[in-house]
Chains A and B, each alone.
Chain A
Amino acid sequence: MVARPSTALLLRRLRGLTPALRRRPESFVTSRYTTSFLANRSCCRSFSSTGSGSPSDNAHQSTSDPNFTTVSPDEVSHFNALASSWWDPHGPSRILHLMNPLRHDFIRMCRNSVLDAPSNTGLTYLDIGCGGGIFAESAARLPGTKSVTAIDPSPEVLNIARGHAHRDPSLRYKLQYLNTPIEQLTKTLHSQQPQAAQQQPQQPQYDVVSVFEVLEHVSNPAQFLDQCAPFVKPGGWLVMSTIARTWLSWFTTNLMAEDVLRIVPRGTHDWQKYVNEEELRGHFMAGRSGQWAEPRCMGVIYIPGVGWREVQGSEKVGNYFFAVRKTAEE
């Protein structure tokens, strides 16, 4: 899919079905096919084979290639096109805005669920794939937050995020946006520091590392998660959200939300890239056992006209949050 200016995208939405349909076969042949193929392959590879204990392979592969990234270019261009309407409360991202409070409820639930929870003040957050900053801004506004670092590979979306954050004085000293993929984050942060040249880069670590609605957009989720893992403080949480790969989720998130009701922009989701809860659980608890503990999960369902509601057991069929706590370093 090529990058289109956002006005064109909006016009397409306004004009309705026909242009979108015309475009459909072509994009299906060029991008959909390849991404779904890749995704299929990566899903199998990441969540079944690496489970047998080769996390270092991935890490090795990534560090050996300085330009290695789990970001997929199609996705970057898709979200670039959505940038301008990101903060429109009635725009295409409305459903994400509505979901945001639940993320905080989930994180609070996770942090309060362990006996040795550290204090709720002075927390540091790393938001990976922050988009327009819906979660990053809200995390920075919370009283217990010390700082939020938010990264996204899409420059246009990040410009929107920066512009929007300037409208709120309370974010000024708490929120930092960086246009970098996770693989380059350590380097980017290091280069910001004075006398960067003399020192070895240090691994920055955060109390909460959040990866919201990102796993279904990266080309290799397992590898991507291994890249995120070092940024979690021991005792801190890695918090994710994605969609389960089921027939029901295809029906609701692809057919209904994108094509019929159009509450989510077309082409946002690729069903093949969805990740099931057992796969995540297996990845952390079996594949990287010893490092992670306390898996937590919360299934949520969007009911038009009502909003997002937690529904027990719905992680098996649709959107869900998942979190694990880091127990030790690798």
Chain B
Amino acid sequence: MEALLSRSRQLRRPASRLCWSCSRQLKAQARRAYASAASQPDIYDVVCVGGGPAGLSLLTALRPGKDSRLEAAPGPILEPMQLVDSLLGELSEPNRGMGPPGERACPAVSRDAGLGRRDGCAHRVRLGDARHGEDDRLYDGEPEPHLRAFAPDERYRGAEVFDKVKVENITFGEDKDDLDLTQWPVVHLSGGKQLAARLLVGADGANSPVRAFAEIESRGWDYERHGVVATLEMEDEGWGGHDMKIAYQRFLPTGPVAMLPMPGRYATMVWSTTPRNAALLKSLPAKDFLAVVNAAFRLRPVDLEFMHTTESGQAEELLWRLQHTHVNHQSVPQTVVSVQEGSVASFPLKLRHADTYIGERVVLVGDAAHTVHPLAGQGLNAGQGDVESLARAIEYSVLHGQDLGTRMSLESYNSERYAANHVMLGVCDKLHKLYSVESGPLVPLRSFGLNAVNAMRPLKNFFMDQAAGKGAKLF
């Protein structure tokens, strides 16, 4: 498990400086008194376990800027790049921030990609007014802080990042030296460091150890599908060129496959398919793997199915079959020319929802709180919504002197996000069920429905706004 731990020292400068200094004093005292005792935990306001998009965004949200009502913070402690590099080998789900070395990027997740597609054929979706903004980062055209965490010029100032360490254990603190930490979670890192947290944030993914520590149950079901992810290089910057990035999603009988653009010639693929197909895809040599990926957006389902039946030779198979298939090249992603080594991974798709997002001094965000089928690309959006709401709750408690770790301070976060996420989980689940039907009267009905929505501009806009989190708040 990847561990990213941050102290939001910047949150309330003088108070936490005092907190920091007093904790230092405490440690100094403790060293004198218990020279032989085990190491004392360092005291932090916020410790975030997990360096995925949710964790990094939270860090950025708690970091004060010029526009923030919280005060300025000291310089960077870690280049964000290192952080993301270290994530590449640890992918457990598609929305994790990933990018080619040297380039900080997050897949511009298909905020609008869930709409306008048709059965069995790839459909182009324009991602808002996608542009390279003033700082080369807003690929979804949202001038909101949604993807800010991944911007190359952002530094996690005021936060400490513990890179390439593992969380070995989480326990409660002790009551000694006139300081009662029995209700504070203490995170034990590999290497012996201990961090006592006023608020422990679980941004640690679907199998969240923080959630296990908090004894919060997570319920749901498995889809018997695996998501295959890979970071790919295209032949060019995409049909929209440098300035307009296009995401693609095609519904295949086994599940949707999506190509999500990243800066330059790179893209991230997320392919929901059967566990058997996923295993095959992971075992193929790069040349054949690329052939299957290209085929997934071009060939008919029956041809594609055949390509999953042989152990090798997909590249030649594709060349031959493309001669007999009519493809409008502008309507499918550009040809994929290489796959980043080690970036192909798969994970089981499931629906999970935690019973609650908050406990005393514990809060869950992102996939730790809710795991969703990736077909509508809503996992990252939901995580970003969580972070936005949690950051607001934390800011409110800090400005009003509340203890930001208590359940009382976190209640607004839970009540703001739970219902909204529950609806999102349900909608994605029903979409999956709708699209896993392969024959029968539902198939033409489904196509008719989608075409109808596509034709009715206001209705389509409504759905797109809802998917992008810009529309009227329904829940």
Name the prevailing secondary structure of the B interface residues.
Answer: mixed
A139 interface residue, CB < 8 Å from B?
Answer: yes
Q: Which A residues lie within 8 Å of B356 (CB)?
A: none
A-B contact pairs, 8 of them (CB 8 A): A138-B402, A143-B12, A163-B180, A167-B180, A167-B182, A167-B183, A172-B26, A173-B18
Residues of A141-179 at the interface with B, using a CB-CB cut-off of 8 Å, are: 141-145, 163, 166-170, 172-174
Q: Does B16 contact A (CB under 8 A)?
A: yes
B43 touches A101 (CB 8 A): no
Q: How far is the CB of B380 from chain A (nearest CB, A)?
A: 31
A102 to B, closest residue via Cβ = B400
| A-B contacts besides A101-B402, A170-B15, A170-B18, 5 pairs, CB < 8 Å | A121-B14, A141-B401, A144-B14, A170-B19, A174-B18
Q: Chain B residues near A137 (CB, 8 Å)?
A: 401, 403
Beta-carbon nearest neighbor of B396 in chain A: A101
Pick the contact of A141: B43, B396, B402, B408 (CB < 8 A): B402
Are A169 and B400 within 8 A (Cβ)? Answer: no
Residues of B within 8 A of A (CB): 12-16, 18-19, 22-23, 26, 43, 71, 178-184, 198, 396, 399-403, 406-408
Instruction: Give the nearest-CB partner of A172 in chain B.
Output: B22
Verify if A116 is at the interface (C-beta below 8 Å from B).
no
Which one of A142, A145, A168 has the greatest number of beta carbons of chain B within 10 Å?
A168
Residues of B contacting A97 with CB < 8 Å? 408
- B408 and A104 contact, CB distance less than 8 A: no
Query: What chain A residues lie within 8 Å of B12 (beta carbons)?
Result: 141-143
- Cα distance A98–B180 when bound, in Å? 24
Q: How many A-B residue pairs have CB under 8 A?
A: 69
What distance in Å separates the Cβ of A213 from its nearest Cβ neighbour in chain B? 17
Contact A139 B401 (CB under 8 A): yes
A167 close to B181 (CB less than 8 A):
yes
Q: Which residues of A contact B396 (CB under 8 A)?
A: 101
A124 CA to B181 CA, complexed, in Å: 27
* Distance between Cα atoms of A142 and B16 in the complex (Å): 10
Known contacts A143-B13, A143-B15, A144-B14; A169 and B403 CB within 8 A of each other: no
Are the C-beta atoms of B401 and A166 separated by less than 8 Å? no
The chain A residue sitting closest to B23, CB to CB, is A169
User: Is A100 located at the chain interface by the 8 A CB criterion?
Assistant: yes
Selected contact of B401 from candidates A142, A163, A173, CB within 8 Å: A142
User: Which residues does chain A contribute within 8 Å of B407, judged by CB atoms?
Assistant: 89
Counting CB contacts under 8 A, is A140 at the interface?
yes
Q: Is A57 an interface residue (CB 8 A)?
A: no
Is B15 in contact with A142, judged by CB distance below 8 angstroms?
Answer: yes
> How near does chain B come to A180, taking the closest CB pair, in angstroms?
22
A140 to B396, CA, bound (A): 16
Task: Assess whether B408 is in contact with A89, with CB atoms less than 8 Å apart.
Answer: yes
- Let me know if B43 and A100 touch, CB within 8 A: no
Task: Collect the chain B residues with CB atoms within 8 Å of residue A173's CB.
Answer: 18, 22
Alpha-carbon gap, A142 to B397, bound state (A): 10
Cβ contacts A117-138/B at 8 Å (1 or 0 each): 0000100000000000000011
Provide the residues of chain A in CB contact with B402, threshold 8 Å.
100-101, 138, 141
**Chain B residues within 8 Å of A144, by CB:** 14
Q: Which residue of B lies closest to A139 (CB)?
A: B401
A65 proximal to B (CB < 8 A): no
Task: Kindly provide the distance from the CB of B406 to the nearest chain A CB, expressed in whole angstroms.
Answer: 7
In the complex, A138→B19 CA distance in Å? 14
Shortest distance in angstroms between B129's beta carbon and chain A's nearest beta carbon?
A: 38
Residues from chain A with a CB closer than 8 A to the CB of B403 are 137-138, 141, 168
Which chain B residues border A121 with CB–CB below 8 Å?
14
The residue among B12, B14, B179, B400 with the most chain A CB atoms within 10 A of its own CB is: B400
Chain B contacts of A172 at CB under 8 A?
Answer: 22, 26, 178-179
On whether A166 and B14 interact (CB within 8 A), knowing A100-B400, A173-B22, the answer reads no
Closest Cβ of chain A to B97, distance in Å, is 32
Q: Verify A170–B26 contact, CB threshold 8 A.
A: no
Given A89-B408, A143-B13, A163-B180, A169-B401 contact (CB < 8 Å)? no
**Alpha-carbon distance between A211 and B179 when the two chains are bound, in angstroms:** 28
B181: chain A residues at CB < 8 Å are 167
**Residue in A closest to B13 when the chains form the complex, CB atoms:** A143
Within the assembled complex, what's the spacing in Å between the Cα atoms of A210 and B12? 23
CB contacts under 8 Å to B, within A69-123, are: 89, 97-98, 100-101, 104-105, 121
Task: Give the distance in Å from the alpha carbon of A19 to the alpha carbon of B293 in the complex.
Answer: 74
Q: Compute how far the CA of A121 lies from the CA of B18 in the bound complex, rounded to whole angstroms.
A: 14
Please determine whether A104 and B400 come into contact, CB atoms closer than 8 angstroms.
yes
A170 to B11, CA, bound (A): 13
Q: How far is the CA of A174 from the CA of B396 in the complex (A)?
A: 21
5 closest residue pairs by CB, A with B: A138-B401, A170-B19, A101-B400, A141-B401, A143-B14
Q: Distance in Å from the Cβ of A128 to the closest Cβ of chain B?
A: 18
Interface centre among A98, A139, A169 (most CB of B within 10 A): A169
Provide the bound-state CA to CA distance between A224 and B19, in Å: 35
Q: Are B183 and A170 in contact (CB under 8 A)?
A: no
Contact of B22 among A101, A105, A169 (CB under 8 A): A169
CB neighbours (8 Å) of A101 from chain B are 396, 400, 402
User: Is the beta-carbon distance between B183 and A169 smaller than 8 angstroms?
Assistant: no
Complex: A142 Cα to B19 Cα, angstroms: 12
Interface centre among B43, B403, B407 (most CB of A within 10 A): B403
Nearest Cβ distance between residue A1 and chain B, in whole angstroms? 29
When C-beta atoms are compared, the residue in chain B nearest to A165 turns out to be: B180
A104 with B401, Cβ < 8 A, contacts A121-B14, A143-B15 known: yes
Q: How far is the CB of A310 from chain B (nearest CB, A)?
A: 14
Inter-chain CA distance A160–B402, complex, in Å, is: 18
CB distance from B243 to the nearest CB of A (A): 44
- Measured CA separation A167–B396 after assembly (Å): 21
A166-B22 in contact given A97-B408, A137-B401 (Cβ < 8 Å): no
Q: How far is the CB of B306 from chain A (nearest CB, A)?
A: 59
| Cα–Cα, bound, A100→B182 (Å) | 25
